[in-house]
Amino acid sequence: MSGFDFDYSDDYYNEAGNLDEEIRKCKESIEHGGVYGCTESIEELIQLCLESDRVEDGLFFVNLMLDTFPYNSEYWLKKGSFLIAIGEYVDAIDCFNKSLSLNPGDADTYLEKAAAEESLGLLDDAKESLKTIILMEPNNEEPYFELGLLNQREEKFDDAVKCFKKAIEIDPEFSEAYYELGFCYESAQQYNKALEIYEKYIDLEPYSASAWYNRGIVLGKMNLLEKSIESYDFSLAINEDFASAWFNKGNALADLGRYQDAIECFKKSFELDKYDEASSYNIANIYEELGDLVNAVKYYTEAVKINDEYYEAYLARGFCYDSMGKFQLALKDFNRAISLSKDNVEAWYAKADLEYSLGKLQEAIKSYKEAIKIEPANFEIWSNLAETLFEVGDWLEALNAFNVCINLNSVDASSYYNKAKINFILSRTQEAVDCLKTAFSIDPNIRNEFAKEYPEIKSSKLFKKLLGELE
């Protein structure tokens, strides 16, 4: 018989102070009368500790019970559950195995064991535990659902879909299974099916903000942007503090060109989550698109304050500074972007172009070459490198670069023309003429450019003869 009265409502125990008081009373009773007189009270307290994450107190009581009743499978199960709560997964599995040795057919123990195995990354073991439940209880939807989650984690979406469908077949109102099934279809880019399933979930859980949110994502991926926005609005009507819904609504509005509305959504998202650099970045991006570079710089700066390794924000702010004529600030941002992502071709290319504009041609050449290491087949970068090499008078390297340009784009008249100019400088007249012929055949307008640049050569009879313009 219990040493104290334990007959209280659940609401009473929802108060932390009340639970503390009952734990204290129970411990006092154990001290004075031992475990046997408090067994029912201790069992109820163990359950309450599990439900309220009171792990230390829960372990105290369950260990006490195991000292007295070491062959009780339920106590080993509960101890394992407490150990899972503090990340002691190996010891938890030992507890579950002891529980199963005493009660081999308990599905709940296998479910808990599978959870511990999953946390340790032992996914195959977790699957075996769940399959054991299915063999024992083929009409239990829970192991199918958990098996689906494991397959989903491994991105085995087809297998996950089969599991979630089976769970729904057993329990047609298993709303969580619909939700995860929708996510699988979405991840597999089967958007029509995903939309259908999310809507079934919403029929079961109409006030789920996350379901309306996921529905909005799918509609956005289907390019049904107006409907996507409506779905985000439903989500926000349920939970107006849903920062991600404000953010995604902003993206949809921006895609529709409704920039001011998009800015307001991103500002709301940022207001709700001050550590979300992406919202600040998107606001800046829209201001840049609108030509408001001052505000663009302001919000890109806010983004890098939040995350000083946000290389996209440094790069974008660098472009703004470049457009504003603040070249040294732009160069500083491009260098910072490169330091954060050395394999980012855009940053190297932007730096090279800026160095070229500043007259730092040798530095520009180095930066173009770094960009080419990342994208060796990028025609535009090769072309800029070739022209810069030409300007500094590095004829042979420029010639080689123009040859690469021609290999990448055999119908680029400018490359042939520039190659011809270099060959003239190197007194390789026949090669120069051959390149000119090809340039003229690709783009006849090159003739006019050539006549302006080299009027004395253009009027030469010898040159005309070489070109084949005289009979």
Q: CA-CA distances (angstroms) from residue 323 to 160, 217, 327, 419? A: 50, 34, 8, 32
Can you tell me the distance from the alpha carbon of 280 to that of 222, in angstroms, rounded to the nearest whole number? 26
Residue-wise DSSP of 274-319: TT-HHHHHHHHHHHHHTT-HHHHHHHHHHHHHH-TT-HHHHHHHHH
Please identify which residue in the block is written with the tokens 């670069």. 401
Can you tell me the distance from the alpha carbon of 346 to that of 237, in angstroms, rounded to the nearest whole number? 41
What local confidence, expressed as pLDDT, does residue 165 receive? Answer: 97
Can you tell me the distance from the alpha carbon of 124 to that of 130, in angstroms, rounded to the nearest whole number? 10
Report which secondary-structure segment, H or E, holds 380.
Answer: helix 379-391
- The 10 Å Cβ neighbour count of residue 267 is 17
Can you tell me the distance from the alpha carbon of 282 to that of 277, in angstroms, rounded to the nearest whole number? 9
Can you tell me the distance from the alpha carbon of 39 to that of 62, in angstroms, rounded to the nearest whole number? 11
- What single DSSP character describes residue 239? -
pLDDT in tens, the chain (471 residues): 233 343 444 454 445 567 888 888 888 777 776 777 678 888 888 899 888 888 998 899 899 889 889 999 999 999 999 999 999 999 999 999 999 999 999 999 999 999 999 999 999 999 999 999 999 999 999 999 999 999 999 999 999 999 999 999 999 999 999 999 999 999 999 999 999 999 999 999 999 999 999 999 999 999 999 999 999 999 999 999 999 999 999 999 999 999 999 999 999 999 999 999 999 999 999 999 999 999 999 999 999 999 999 999 999 999 999 999 999 999 999 999 999 998 899 999 999 999 999 999 999 999 999 999 999 999 999 999 999 999 999 999 999 999 999 999 999 999 999 999 999 899 998 899 899 999 999 999 988 888 888 776 655 655 665 566 533
| pTM (2 d.p.) | 0.78
Q: Which two tokens stand for residue 310?
A: 């946000």
- Torsions phi, psi for 293 (to 5 deg): -70, -30
What local confidence, expressed as pLDDT, does residue 300 receive? Answer: 97
Dihedral sign for Cα atoms in the order 64, 65, 68, 70:
negative
Q: CA-CA distances (angstroms) from residue 165 to 144, 145, 182, 398? A: 9, 9, 11, 64
